[in-house]
A and B are shown apart, each in its own frame.
Chain A
Amino acid sequence: MSSETGKILTTDGIPLEVSLKKAERKNKIKAFLLVAPLLLFLLITYIFPIGDMLMRSVDDKMVTEMLPKTFKSMEKWDGKELPPEEVFESFYLDFQKLVEEKRDGKLSTQLNYTKNGFKSILKKLRRKAKNFEEGNYKEQIMAVHKRWADVEYWRAIQRRAPAYTSQKYLKGIDMYKNEEGKIVSVEEDRRVHRILWLRTLEIAFFVTLLCFLMAYPIAHLLATLPMKYSNLLMICVLLPFWTSLLVRTASWMILLQQQGVVNDFFVMIGLVADDSRPEMMFNKTGTYVAMTQILLPFMVLPLYSVMKTISPSLMRAGKSLGGTPFVAFWKVYFPLTIPGIGAGCLLVFILAIGYYITPALVGGASGTLISNQIAFHMKSTLDWSFASAMGLMLLAGVLAIYWVYNKLVGVDNIKLG
């Protein structure tokens, strides 16, 4: 096509190649314009805010901006002994400005995160600082409280100088940067977050396993029964699927309570005595039972849609070639269902790992998951940057699972129902 003479022209004299490319580009733009509104909407309201979470989780500008002079004069300080007069003076000036702007409370909260004990000494400093004389601030500040003469506290302030920090992420896995700047774990009995991460993984794993074990036989039954029966039984799967999550959680709360139906039944068949009814709610048992039932349809549906496509003659062929039904199942049927197993397990595991409502209602203290911790920090402690950091760690985990799944099985069309 490239030789001058062989060029094919359209009727209006433009080379065909150019004309086609133009049409192609026009089509591309047309297709893109259709997607653009939703894409733009999601970028602004959803994707960028997730980026915003990332910024928040590492952002530590608050203290940096509150004590600009202090941090400037601290640059020359080696941190070994008490800082020089210059640092004390600039700290005093910064602090007075914050008091005027009524922002000293925020500073004390922030510094208290870094080291306990700042709250009271800042309060005291605020009261005394009104009567400070000019000059020799080091003496005057140190006289306010003996902790002001402790170099540890000045080092703690210095640690807040950088505008960005990984501190929230470290806190999320129960680690912190100690005075020497080394990353170490917190004491054994304060490692709350690691327990939560492990528990979240454990519960998600076992819920997935339970769902798989329960879903496989019924998906198989649904796929092999004649239509008129399977449609009827399918309702048992689809009705819970379409029913409000809170309704299903409520029914488990009623069933599992101490005077509930399940306990009544146990007493009736003599499994437990009437006066020693086991506690089945507000602990891990409650979380397991309720989550398994709630997530079960998400396992059944992908398995069913795969099993439906497997021809029954394959099993028959396996048997006629001399395999027992079990061998035929294991060698022929089971390998064919692996895509369904993969999709179901992925779906259930990812849903389970981010579960919030059900564990919060039936989980009690020992059955709550990482999501509950995130919500707790969003709503109660208002430590939004920590909530963001934990959320992003969870998100990274979920994306990693997707990636691995994609490598192993391949994410083809996600099927709904």
Chain B
Amino acid sequence: MAEPALSIRGLTKVYGNGFQALKGIDLDVAEGDFFALLGPNGAGKSTTLGVVCSLVQKSDGKVSIFGIDIDRDFARAKYHLGVVPQEFNFNQFEKVIDIVLAQAGYYGMSRREALPRAEELLRDLGLWDKRNGNARMLSGGMKRRLMIARALMHRPRLLILDEPTAGVDIELRRSMWEYMRRINREEGTTIILTTHYLEEAESLCRNVAIINHGEIIRNTSVRDLLMELDTETFLFDLAHALDEVPEVPGFEVTQSEPAQLAVAVHRGQRLNDIFEALSERGIQVVSMRNRANRLEEMFVSMVEQGNEALDQKAAAKDKEASA
């Protein structure tokens, strides 16, 4: 059986101030996968990826990249790794071309080998015309693409993208998605993505892990996760404003705006029933859409459940202490 692109076992990180960011997480990402690592801010996503990239020192646990234990031969493991961090981390006063060529040099690529690769990537990512300009003169979206070009210079087999489209406009985000899909599909690059745009994860990724409070609370395929979704909320835009909210047996209906209804549809319920019910009441529906992205709805409910469980645990502890 092929080695997973990334294998994490019992990964723990306790920072100097005593904060336990990771509580012994296990995670496998198969070769060729497009994988999302999701979680609220401070959940432990960036710490996990920081350990994998050697930017954060782990407290305990094992990490292997394509079967190479990072404690035994991190240098060899790093060859397979490309990293696009959350924040811009290049010298803003250097030329675009110098930034990507220097990165190739750090991986031992000769200039003769690196120049055509740099041209290919900068052309693909729409930065070739800017190659002789200072990096600080680039727009935010261009800087993000520069970091992607830099990370791909040495043809990594595993690409880590930490919120790669944060602050990028919709059009550019879509073109970046297309590019990432292409390198995953055509070059077989395994991609691990963290993002706050759950639409992005739903659209791009095949598998997902959700991390909260330093623990993996779900690790499954995006498809399976969405099938577990119990309730979806649909927004119905109406032809006319309503004076009162209609009662529809079996459905939770609320009025979000005078001419808009929000209807919670549970698994097993049919949309036809709500349409028929509204039609019987003379209410005309002009258009319909999901209130939130489906994965977002799932994610929010899981994180909330996790937070509630944690609050209950804390309350029980307090009770025990005061008894």
Query: Does chain A bind chain B?
Result: no
Residues on A lying within 8 angstroms of B by beta carbon are none
Residues on B lying within 8 angstroms of A by beta carbon are none
